[in-house]
Amino acid sequence: MPLVAHNDLPTFGKLQREGLLVLSPGLAHQQDIRELHIGLLNMMPDAALAATERQFLRLIGESNPIAQFYVHPFTLEALPREQSASDHIAKYYDDFEQIKQQGLDALIITGANVIGADLSEEVFWDELIEVADWAHDNVTSTLCSCLATHAVLDFRYAQKRTKQRAKKWGVFRHQVVGVSHPLVVDINSEFDVPHSRWNSVYPEQFAAAGLKVLVTGDDGCVHLATSPDGFRTIFFQGHPEYDTVSLLKEYKRDVNLYISGEMTDYTPIPENYMSDFNAAVLREYQGRIDYSLAQKSEPPDFPEHLILGNLKNTWQDTASAVIGTWLGLIYQVTNVDRRKPFMDGVDCDNPLGLR
């Protein structure tokens, strides 16, 4: 499913240089296959804005090429932005009114960098509900990532997330538990998923909401679930879209916050992510940081060059397969008129014919 570079968003060029198939509009118009228009509600903070674009566009672009994908990024006006991010958004992003007018076949809602457990106190809360409710009525399927999952479970199913005693962060083993669903039928029964979150919605809450749980972790946490109809809303609690280096970048950010005094505790190394060599390098670096702070001397540079070559990605193939299946299902049941979520004859309460 090749991406179509329908504007000058720099992410298109970067992905093309990485070897991903990206079509120009002229070439796309010559293809005898149907378009799918996908909204990307990007709620990530400024530093992660472009990286999040690349992560989700990469997963879309790696899917089976049965359609041409037009990805329409947009964000929420209530989210505070610095000037460079505001300029990027103004130049390359749609606004929600444009999205509503043109219609979408699918919507992805990203996570956001929020620590507090009560999402209803966040400045973007009302805007997010407006987008999610519009999508529920007008878009074939919405995929929610991490915080977006917590938000929809809160306002639609009255299941509030709870802050954990420790941050769940690293790469964790998961198992398929809903083998009859198309999203998981053709993937490995066990696979890895990155997580990075302080808060959780627990399995009994998914059950209370009547949701279909498809994938759980070794500790019982829910990673992948769907709305009761099996398709209209897809919930991820982890971050399958993460790049190989995403957790390293988060770790480096937290270390810099510790150095600046904005964090009082030194951040732990992400679990099951670093090799023994990398972990040793980072422990030695932590000692040097603490010594430099005690001596009030210049802290050493982060040893990224020693770590990058030893990082492993054990989750991307499965993530691509799940997203590819999701998009293929959307292609099958979506009406060409994107203002009508399902084709005539499709049961809106059970669009995939699940039993």
Q: Is position 146 annotated as part of the catalytic site?
A: yes
CA nearest 244: which of 154, 161, 319? 319
**Residue-level pLDDT at 19:** 64
**Residue-level pLDDT at 34:** 83
Q: Is position 241 annotated as part of the catalytic site?
A: yes
N residues, the chain: 355
Check: CB of residue 226 under 8 Å from CB of residue 212: yes
CA 203 from chain centre, in angstroms, equals 20
**What is the Cα–Cα distance from 304 to 317, expressed in whole angstroms?**
25
Whether pTM > 0.75 for this model: the answer is yes
Alpha helices (runs of H) in the chain, residue ranges in sequence order: 10-17, 25-28, 49-61, 83-92, 96-102, 125-138, 147-157, 182-185, 203-208, 246-260, 276-295, 304-307, 316-333
Check: CB of residue 82 under 8 Å from CB of residue 46: yes
Query: Per residue, what are the HEC states of 188-214?
Result: CCEEEEEEEEEEECCHHHHHHCCCEEE
**Residue-level pLDDT at 2:** 66
State the sign of the Cα–Cα–Cα–Cα dihedral 152, 153, 157, 163.
Answer: negative
**Residue-level pLDDT at 1:** 54
Catalytic one of 62, 122, 127, 241: 241
* CATH code for the domain defined by 3-243+313-333: 3.40.50.880
Residue 94 CA: distances (Å) to CA of 40, 50, 71, 179, 220: 10, 15, 10, 37, 39
Catalytic one of 88, 144, 239, 250: 239
Within a 13 Å sphere around the CA of 74, how many CA atoms are in the beta-carbon half?
20
Mean pLDDT per segment of 10 residues, for the chain of length 355 residues? 84 82 77 86 96 95 83 97 97 96 96 87 97 96 97 97 94 90 89 96 97 95 95 96 96 96 96 97 97 96 96 96 92 75 75 70
**Residue-level pLDDT at 244:** 97
Domain boundaries in the chain?
Answer: 3-243+313-333, 246-310
Q: Is position 223 annotated as part of the catalytic site?
A: no
**What is the Cα–Cα distance from 95 to 101, expressed in whole angstroms?**
10
**Residue-level pLDDT at 334:** 83
**Residue-level pLDDT at 342:** 77
**What is the Cα–Cα distance from 149 to 138, expressed in whole angstroms?**
19
Catalytic one of 72, 146, 181, 250: 146
